[in-house]
Amino acid sequence: MSHTMARAFLWLGLAALSGCESCHGDPPPTHVEEAPGDRSTDPALTLGLAPEVAQRTIAHVDGEPVRVLDVAFELDSLSPIAAARSVDATRRQALAEALVLDRALAAEARDRGLGESPRVRAAREDILTRAIVAQLERDVPAPSDADVRAYYDAHRERYRAPELRNADLIFTRDGAAATTALGAMVHEVRRLSELWIQTADRIGFAGPRRQARTITDMIGATPRPGEVFVPQPVRDAIFATEPGAVYPELIPFEDGFFLVSVLSRAEPTDTPFESVRVAIREQLHAEAIDARLTEVVASSLATATYDDDALAAVRVPAAEGPALVDHDVDRGSDEDVDPASDEDVDPASDEDVDPASDEDVNPASDEDVSPRR
């Protein structure tokens, strides 16, 4: 065992003998009420710990302290069930020992020069990147109720349900019969419902997109998710027709015609503010976080410099060496998959599969199978 690990376990033993309150059966560390705005600046307050309690030392590893805050952070990262179990003094002791062991191994890795390997550096930078994003999410305040209401009032059109028309449609391929039927419906409005049903039964056809012979649906001026397919010329005719009437012309589409009857109209309505208040707040908050993150990124990149020559020296690993060539997709290889190879798969081979061979399979052979016998 290295000196680093030996020192770690020595300090852990001393902490246990000294009756550390955080690791034994005494009550958990004192919690404090969090002051507004403190969450992003003090990790102890983030976990609900009094600062003086959070900094108490449980053990030392390679001269570095393991604090109450460190164990509390590990506890906070556990699942709710595991965290509840760790309230037990023995389990808290085990959690502290596991943390000290991790620290000891990490110190040993640093002693061996492993702390600056590209893989470790990348992992560390990824953790720091996630940390600054999380901090920005905490630092950017959520919009006020007044801001949310102002956004709603300025974008009412986004929260307005459009006008809808309840329409009947018939698709037919009999243009002459449809013209006659439409003329009767236009002139005999009182019999519209009766004539419409008769027309659908007589000349209605399963129309485009395999629809039924007649379609009844609430149609918007523009297509909506889940709405039945309606060609745009038909949609325009629906909104040009008053409720209780038929559109006075046939509407050509593909290999047939549409007839349009409008039954009723649903006026546009505004979505109540309370129905969208939470969604607007979350949207504005996310946009503010993105804007702040963009500022931080721009500031960080202002000092970045590139060496194009050095970048050009970077090689893609898959392009280096024959061992990394994928023979299954390399059609230029002369081995294994080359259709021009003289071995195994050549249709011009004189062995095994040549239809011109004089042995075994030639229908022109003088032995056994010749039709001239």
CATH number, domain containing residue 206? 3.10.50.40
- Looking at the fold, whether 106 and 186 belong to one and the same domain comes out as no
pLDDT at position 114: 86
Residues 321 and 151: their CA atoms lie apart, in Å, by 59
- Report how many domains make up the chain: 2
Q: Which of 61, 59, 58 is nearest to 109 (CA)?
A: 61
The three-point CA angle 295-287-122 to 5° equals 55
Q: What is the mean pLDDT of residues 143-163?
A: 93
- Looking at the fold, whether 15 and 110 belong to one and the same domain comes out as yes
**More confident position, 268 or 348:** 268
Give the strand pairing for 245-246 and 269-270: unpaired
**More confident position, 20 or 57:** 57
Q: Highest mean pLDDT range out of 28-32, 229-233, 247-251, 369-373?
A: 247-251
* 224 part of a folded domain: yes
Which of these three, 116, 147, 171, is where a domain ends? 116
- Looking at the fold, whether 28 and 111 belong to one and the same domain comes out as yes
- Looking at the fold, whether 95 and 15 belong to one and the same domain comes out as yes
Residues 333 and 338: their CA atoms lie apart, in Å, by 6
185: Cα within 13 Å, side-chain hemisphere: 26
Q: Which residue has the tokens 């000294």?
A: 18
* 289 part of a folded domain: no
Q: Which residue has the tokens 């504005």?
A: 284
Q: What is the value of pTM for the model shown? A: 0.47
Reported as a single tens digit per residue, the pLDDT across 253-309 is 988 999 999 999 998 888 999 999 999 999 999 999 999 999 998 988 888 888 888
- Looking at the fold, whether 110 and 169 belong to one and the same domain comes out as no
* 279 part of a folded domain: no
Residues 237 and 246: their CA atoms lie apart, in Å, by 9
Name the phi and psi angles at 336, rounded to 5: 75, -45
CA dihedral 356, 359, 364, 366 (to 10 degrees): 160
pLDDT at position 35: 41
Which of these three, 59, 82, 116, is where a domain ends? 116
- Looking at the fold, whether 100 and 22 belong to one and the same domain comes out as yes
* 228 part of a folded domain: yes
* 136 part of a folded domain: no
Bridge partners of 189? none
The parent domain of residue 25 ranges over 3-116
Report how far apart, in Å, the C-alpha atoms of 357 and of each of 347, 348, 354 are.
12, 10, 5
**More confident position, 208 or 56:** 56
Reported as a single tens digit per residue, the pLDDT across 164-174 is 999 999 999 99
- Looking at the fold, whether 105 and 176 belong to one and the same domain comes out as no
The three-point CA angle 100-106-110 to 5° equals 140
**More confident position, 35 or 211:** 211
Reported as a single tens digit per residue, the pLDDT across 215-255 is 677 888 888 877 788 899 999 999 999 999 999 999 999 88
Any idea which of 126-135, 188-197, 205-214, 230-239 has the lowest mean pLDDT? 205-214
Q: What percent of the chain has pLDDT over 70?
A: 68
For the chain, the average pLDDT equals: 75
End-to-end CA distance of the chain: 92
Q: What is the mean pLDDT of residues 189-196?
A: 90
**More confident position, 150 or 53:** 150
Which of these three, 267, 285, 312, is where a domain ends? 267
* 317 part of a folded domain: no
pLDDT at position 151: 96
- Looking at the fold, whether 91 and 169 belong to one and the same domain comes out as no
**More confident position, 181 or 59:** 181
* 13 part of a folded domain: yes
Q: Which of 194, 163, 165, 168 is nearest to 181 (CA)?
A: 194
Q: What percent of the chain has pLDDT over 90?
A: 27
DSSP state of 190: G
* 91 part of a folded domain: yes
- Looking at the fold, whether 76 and 174 belong to one and the same domain comes out as no
**More confident position, 120 or 25:** 120
